[in-house]
Structure 1
Amino acid sequence: MKLEGLHVVVTGGASGLGNASARALAAAGAHVSIFDINKDAGSEKAAEIGASFHQVDITSEDSVVAGFDAARAKYGQERALVHCAMTAKGGKTVGFDKASGGYRRLSTEDYAFAAEGILVASYRLASLSALGMANAEPLNEDGERGAIVLTSSAAAQDGQVGQVAYGSCKAGVNGLVLPMARDLMELGIRVNSIMPGIFATPPMLGVRDRAPQIFENLSKSVPFPKRLGNPEEFASFMLELVRNPYANGQTYRLDGAIRMPPR
Structure 2
Amino acid sequence: MHTTRMLGAALLTLGLAAAPAVADSTPSPSGDSSAPTEAGTSFRTATEVDQGRTATANASAGDYLYWSFPADAGQRPTVKATVKLPDTHAAETWQIDVHDGLRRRQACQYGPQTRTAAANTSSVELACTLRPVRAWSEPWANDPLPGTYYIRLTAVGLPTSDLGLPVSTEVRVDGKDIGGSAAVDGSLAEPLVPGAAARPEEDSSASAVLSSIEPEDGWASGWWSDRWVWTAVGGVLAALAGVGGYALTRGSGRPPRA
TM bucket, shorter chain: under 0.3
Q: Which has the larger radius of gyration?
A: 2
Bigger share in helix: 1
The TM-score normalised by the length of structure 1 is 0.25
Bigger share in strand: 2
